[in-house]
Amino acid sequence: MLEKIQEAADFLKRKMQFHPEIAIVLGTGLGSLVHEIADKQEFDYTDIPHFPESTVEGHRGKFIAGRLGNREVVAMQGRFHYYEGYDMKEVTFPIRVMHALGIRTLFVSNAAGGTHPDFKVGDLMVITDHINLFPEHPLRGRNIPYGPRFPDMSEAYSKEWVDLAARIADEQGWTIRQGVYLGSQGPTYETPAEYRMFRLLGADAVGMSTIPEVIVARHCGMKVFGVSVITNVAAMAGAVAEASHEEVQQAADAAQPRMTTLMKELINRI
């Protein structure tokens, strides 16, 4: 696998005019941050050696390098989800490629269902911690010596950047949420009983992505910031709350301006 990672990184290094320091994974409906990137260079996943291909509706598979504010970044437009059938090595392959490019900062975004009773559709939740319920672990198997066999997860999401995001939200006059993201494999949304169970387990929001990428990033020493858009809320008191991909997309689209501002401000200040 190391050779494949290196080949993908070498391909990008040869073609890129940039030396990006920051990687951003753009989740469902959050693609508009891309419009803020200047001097863009785009690479289809299909052209990058060994990259899996993105299949899910609403995700276009592109790797975009350029400038965001005063920083050089790469953005992943479209990620690989476990529910699409990829194994965890494939899901996290791009993160290892980013590491091989010298990137040590990872920003991730996603859409998630709110299980915290106060959360509303359209809220942004800065991820403070996670609960990994995926059935396969991305670090299972021989340890790749980027990091220890048993990596520490006491601060998977940088506390410093959680606090910085809170200050930015304050300045903007936004209410921003903080909370625990629980990752479950999907592709079904949860039953009412499952939402209740996840709430009992300590989840504030539940989604189908992000955790594998964050684990791999932490293993190889990257610092991580993550944010969820709450696109639907679970009805806890027995009422029926349906979740649909269209509703999720719409709520994610509506949150884009705030998400974009938050990411841009963070990137300018770190």
Interface with ligand HPA (CB under 6 A): 111-113, 186, 189-190, 206-208, 231-232, 243, 248
Residue with Cβ nearer ligand HPA (197 or 243): 243
Least Å distance, CB 254 to ligand HPA, is 14
| 211 contacts 127 by C-beta, under 8 angstroms | no
| 134 contacts 183 by C-beta, under 8 angstroms | yes
Least Å distance, CB 179 to ligand HPA, is 14
Comparing every residue's Cβ against ligand HPA, the nearest one is: 113
Of 235, 186, 222, 176, nearest in space to 206 by CA: 186
C-alpha atoms less than 13 angstroms from C-alpha of 123 in its C-beta half-sphere: 23
The whole-angstrom separation of Cα 182 and Cα 166 is 21
Residue with Cβ nearer ligand HPA (108 or 206): 206
Residue with Cβ nearer ligand HPA (5 or 126): 126
Least Å distance, CB 113 to ligand HPA, is 2
CA distances from 225 to 7, 43, 178 (A): 27, 24, 12
Of 255, 204, 209, 256, nearest in space to 234 by CA: 204
Residue with Cβ nearer ligand HPA (32 or 250): 250
Least Å distance, CB 210 to ligand HPA, is 10
| 81 contacts 209 by C-beta, under 8 angstroms | yes
Least Å distance, CB 244 to ligand HPA, is 10
Residue with Cβ nearer ligand HPA (175 or 185): 185
The helix (H) or strand (E) run that includes residue 194 is helix 192-201
Of 226, 218, 141, nearest in space to 182 by CA: 226
Least Å distance, CB 109 to ligand HPA, is 12
Residue with Cβ nearer ligand HPA (29 or 52): 29
Of 25, 37, 35, 269, nearest in space to 166 by CA: 269
Tokens of 224: 């991580």
Residue with Cβ nearer ligand HPA (100 or 182): 182
Of 181, 180, 178, nearest in space to 164 by CA: 178
Residue with Cβ nearer ligand HPA (66 or 113): 113
Least Å distance, CB 246 to ligand HPA, is 12
Nearest-5° Cα angle at 241, 240 to 243: 140
Least Å distance, CB 215 to ligand HPA, is 18
- Measure CA 236 to chain center: 26
